[in-house]
């Protein structure tokens, strides 16, 4: 892949700033955006025209491919400020690698690593005043790629746009959630795109999730195609604590390989907690709930870090989890955020400082 012009990012600064007078702390997650965005295009077989511009709408032809055939992928990451106003990312190399894995699966062009990192770090340097400092706040970063070529014949696009936008976000108040275990709908299929961070995976989840909400639940725990094994919780990876063992499904072509998930596994092993990456069946979970060995269920992902699941339902049976003392969920959340906000040693070299 040619990468000649890539590190040459044109910068067009916004003349005015939307930076709120009373600061960027405690804003609603994902709802306001910073002054600038990064954008580059793929054309004639090459990534080109990398620039930072004022945040602005795109003008797209109605026949633009993404509208018709859904070639759209994204990433989700965060920038954190420490007590000295130093800025850190958490394992951004993993997001960069995963973006390209998603691209390959969706027949989209891979983005060179240097372009991803140059765009990201240049944008963050310009937007550093937008990174909140209040406890639990961060700048949510959304890199994404869409098919921007024209024509409604069903074929992959020959042009693409890659962009990065940023949203200052308040403490993600991760409420305890109740879940329905999927017994009909699926988020991913064998041989499908479940392991890609493809936009359509989210679109396909909204209807079944809304059905669960109507029944008084918040989310769905997705199962495999036979609805036998537990796979993901909503848009998060899912962990179970049975007795003192931590269990999570192995990644597969149906499961998103989460950065939070893999970090929790590493931390758990390092702390001497027994971890098993293996399939967990609905039957095993019900049995553990009945005999009291099921201590915790939680979802793991960048946005909320950890979301505790306190009740699950399966085929009209409901199981409530008892409160535990010294919860794994709380412990991992503290460990992870201490590393992310530069409050603890970085034993695994996960922090990435923005200079």
Q: Report the interface residues with ligand PLP, using CB under 6 A.
A: 76, 197, 232, 235-237, 256, 258-261, 301-302
Closest separation in Å from C-beta 328 to ligand PLP:
16
CA 158, CA 170: separation in Å to the nearest integer?
A: 38
Closest separation in Å from C-beta 74 to ligand PLP:
9
CB atoms within 10 A of CB 38: 25
Nearer to ligand PLP, 66 or 305 (CB): 305
Nearer to ligand PLP, 6 or 256 (CB): 256
Nearer to ligand PLP, 96 or 235 (CB): 235
Nearer to ligand PLP, 270 or 287 (CB): 270
- DSSP character at residue 109: P
CB atoms within 10 A of CB 111: 22
Closest separation in Å from C-beta 336 to ligand PLP:
10
Closest separation in Å from C-beta 274 to ligand PLP:
22
Among 17, 29, 238, smallest CA distance to 142 is for 29
Nearer to ligand PLP, 93 or 159 (CB): 93
Nearer to ligand PLP, 143 or 301 (CB): 301
Tokens 């909140």 belong to 132
Among 152, 127, 153, smallest CA distance to 140 is for 127
Closest separation in Å from C-beta 20 to ligand PLP:
27
Collapsing DSSP to helix, strand or coil, 33 comes out as coil
Nearer to ligand PLP, 187 or 241 (CB): 187
DSSP run (H or E) holding 118: helix 113-126
Among 199, 197, 202, 142, smallest CA distance to 168 is for 142
Closest separation in Å from C-beta 94 to ligand PLP:
7
Taken in order 208, 210, 212, 217, is the CA torsion positive or negative? Answer: positive
CA atoms within 13 A on the CB side of 339: 20
Determine the angle formed by the axes of helices 259-270 and 328-340, rounding to 10 degrees: 110
Closest separation in Å from C-beta 309 to ligand PLP:
14
Do residues 141 and 259 touch, judged by C-beta distance below 8 A?
no
Taken in order 166, 169, 174, 180, is the CA torsion positive or negative? Answer: negative
């Amino acid at each position: 892949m040619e990468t000649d012009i890539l590190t040459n990012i044109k910068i067009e600064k916004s003349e005015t700033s939307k930076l709120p007078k009373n600061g960027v702390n405690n804003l609603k997650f994902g709802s306001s955006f910073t002054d600038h965005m990064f954008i580059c295009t793929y054309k004639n077989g090459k990534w080109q025209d990398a620039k930072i511009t004022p945040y602005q709408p795109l003008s797209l032809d109605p026949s633009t491919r993404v509208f018709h055939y859904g070639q759209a992928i994204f990433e989700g990451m965060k920038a954190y400020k420490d007590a000295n106003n130093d800025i850190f990312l958490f394992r951004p190399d993993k997001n960069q690698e995963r973006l390209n894995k998603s691209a390959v699966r969706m027949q989209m062009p891979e983005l060179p690593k240097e372009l991803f990192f140059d765009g990201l770090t240049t944008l963050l340097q310009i937007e550093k005043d937008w990174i909140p400092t209040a406890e639990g706040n961060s700048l949510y970063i959304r890199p994404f790629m869409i098919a921007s070529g024209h024509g409604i014949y069903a074929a992959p696009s020959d042009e693409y746009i890659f962009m990065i936008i940023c949203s200052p976000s308040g403490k993600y108040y991760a409420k305890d959630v109740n879940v329905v275990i999927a017994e009909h709908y699926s988020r991913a299929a064998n041989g499908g795109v479940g392991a890609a961070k493809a936009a359509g995976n989210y679109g396909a989840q909204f209807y079944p999730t809304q059905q669960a909400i109507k029944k008084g639940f918040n989310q769905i725990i997705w199962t495999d195609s036979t609805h036998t094994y537990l796979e993901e919780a909503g848009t998060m990876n899912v962990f179970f604590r049975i007795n003192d063992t931590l269990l999570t499904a192995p990644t597969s072509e149906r499961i998103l390989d989460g950065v939070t998930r893999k970090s929790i596994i590493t931390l758990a092993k390092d702390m001497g907690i027994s971890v098993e990456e293996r399939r967990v069946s609905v039957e095993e979970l019900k049995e553990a709930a009945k005999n009291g060995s099921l201590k915790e269920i939680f979802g793991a992902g960048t946005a909320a870090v950890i979301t505790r699941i306190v009740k699950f339902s399966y085929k009209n049976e409901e199981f409530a989890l008892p409160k535990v003392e010294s919860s794994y969920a709380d412990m991992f959340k503290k460990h992870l955020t201490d590393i992310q906000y530069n409050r603890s040693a970085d034993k695994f070299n996960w922090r990435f400082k923005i200079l």
